[in-house]
Structure 1
């Protein structure tokens, strides 16, 4: 009986030490991983602003295009003012979030993402296949920044039919 009690005690001590070591290792990995900003900075300025805007657009594109996480992408990079130039959308951030969430709800496969930024503007160009409608589009989203925040949006969409005579059309 004493052996069993000693064995269980030793097992519990080694298991809790292992859990602590795993947690320490996980914290070390998390600390080493760069963290994107929780929210953009409307007042960002300086020589490195263009680089910060590019990094903001790259993170926004990853969240929006690949992860299809509309809420997080907007919470992080579209925190307030948002002018919308799409003729089928209303003005404002909240309408855009709901509109885009509904658009992704039908299932979208995205690929071919390219981003550009400079002089206070950013562009995302990508392929979007809308699974529920069986429609594929070439999409360009064009943004204006204030600091590292997105404050204005334009878009252009072209349907890809697969019958285009140009073999390198769109991409």
Structure 2
């Protein structure tokens, strides 16, 4: 009985108090709490619906989403893996139906010549500045995503086409 009390009231509270950034509030479990194993354990879980993770891991998930969407150009995989079924979509050309969004983007992204120029993640918001190489002039795309835990739940975008008679040689990029 004394051993049980010792463990419950002394050992466990101390373990949680001295555990660095991988404390009890995180949903991932691993016997080796090094950063690599922590990330690996967390990424084995299903992303949506979202579960609580720290911002560092959210940034990793967001980077993986961008790589799947723009690098691999696999729209279905990107949305099925990282985007909530009830995503809030602010693009005026899309509906609030994730499957319809996937169908529309699947007709565009795999065939587009795009380059991610920069991306950032901070405070549950991910940003991507994308160069879309259109003919005759490129377009700039800014994608903005909001995450709840491990899952993308909201999206905005802004696109700007460079006019053929642009006087600024570095406009938009």
- TM-score clears 0.5: yes
Given the superposition, is the C-alpha separation of residues 72 and 169 from structure 1 closer, same or farther in structure 2, using an over 3 Å criterion?
A: same
- Match for residue 91 of structure 2? 86
Contact residue 70 and residue 109 of structure 2 kept, 8 A: no
Decide which moves more: 149-158 or 78-87. Answer: 78-87
Cα RMSD over matched residues? 2.2
Are residue 116 (structure 1) and residue 120 (structure 2) matched? yes
For structure 2, the residue ranges without an aligned partner over 5 or more in a row are 1-38
TM-score by length of 1: 0.69
Contact residue 38 and residue 76 of structure 1 kept, 8 A: no
**Aligned pairs, how many?**
132
Q: Secondary structure at the match of 2:167?
A: coil
Structure with greater helix share of residues: 1
Are residue 56 (structure 1) and residue 61 (structure 2) matched? yes
Q: Secondary structure at the match of 1:82?
A: strand
Given the superposition, is the C-alpha separation of residues 79 and 38 from structure 1 closer, same or farther in structure 2, using an over 3 Å criterion?
A: farther
Given the superposition, is the C-alpha separation of residues 37 and 75 from structure 1 closer, same or farther in structure 2, using an over 3 Å criterion?
A: farther
Query: Which structure 1 residue ranges, 4+ long, deviate > 3 Å from structure 2?
Result: 34-39
Contact residue 109 and residue 130 of structure 1 kept, 8 A: yes
TM-score by length of 2: 0.68
Picking from 126, 130, 145, the partner of 1:126 is: 130
Q: Secondary structure at the match of 1:142?
A: strand
- Match for residue 71 of structure 2? 66
